[in-house]
Amino acid sequence: MAVGSNIRTYFNGTWHAGEVPVMTSADHGSWLGTTVFDGARYFDGLAPDLDAHCARVNRSAEALMLTPTVTAENMVEIIREGLALYDKSEAVYIRPMYWGIDGDMTSSAIAPKADETGFCVCLEAIPMSSATATTTLTRTRFRRPVLEDAVVNAKAGCLYPNNARMLKEAKSKGFGNALVADALGNVAETATANVFMVKDGEVFTPIANGTFLSGITRARHISNLAAEGVTVHETVLSFDDFHAADEVFLSGNMAKVTPVTAFDDTQYQVGPVTRRVRELYWDWAASNG
């Protein structure tokens, strides 16, 4: 189901206008959920870190026992060809996807057949969030899984129902998002994005411990801050640490930087570090996108 407008789909070697059926009812991806995707952004005529997103979707495919059929370099070329169909004033969500087609009968069809992989790219015009947009956080009873029981090393569609129930719980309590724990009860991320906090001018983020994807935009913020001489502490963080923070912001591909104004009954201001992280990202994108 589309969430944006002006959709274009690359499938079977060509670009099509609008939504295009790409899976059949018997495809492994439809039946058993072997789908992976990635999300990049196009705005102001820029597509920052597009190559990194294309490389990651191939790694995600391999983690789900699928064989990538398009190199990251070719994928970038395909996507840029599609983006040329949009006006530079449009913001576009870029979503390359793979899915399993046939099941491997040696595993009773539960595993996908390695040499049968579907591929498409979906482009949707979705505006970037306003520079003044913020969100709020609350706790959730749901947690991030671990590699031993879920494919947390992939950006896999089968992981997202867990995220969805986190969001539904948060929304039912009147909050915008959920701050989520890992299996040990430490903060991992939110239901939709990586998370950072600021305390006494220093920046902290949960250490990538294999329970969540350490995002491409997250890494970009860390790199941009390092260029400014600011060290980001990747460490174990508790919910109490976030209650004691001076600033909190989210990092994700869709919005890049989203300030947090509340975590349950703790209130935050949109502070100078959060504003600077946003400025640094847009400056970097303008030079490298």
Mean pLDDT, contiguous 10-residue spans, the chain (289 residues): 84 96 95 96 96 98 96 98 95 97 86 91 95 96 95 96 98 98 97 98 96 96 96 97 98 95 98 97 91
pLDDT at 120: 98
pLDDT at 2: 67
- How many Å apart are CA 170 and CA 147, to the nearest integer? 25
pLDDT at 147: 94
CB 58 within 8 A of CB 148: no
CB 194 within 8 A of CB 212: yes
pLDDT at 115: 81
CB 165 within 8 A of CB 171: no
**From the CB of residue 116, how many other CB atoms can be counted at a distance below 10 Å?**
17
* Domains parsed from the chain with CATH numbers: 5-125 (3.30.470.10), 135-288 (3.20.10.10)
Q: Quote the tokens at residue 134.
A: 């913020």
Q: Give 3-state DSSP helix, strand, coil % of the chain, rounded to 5.
A: 30, 30, 40
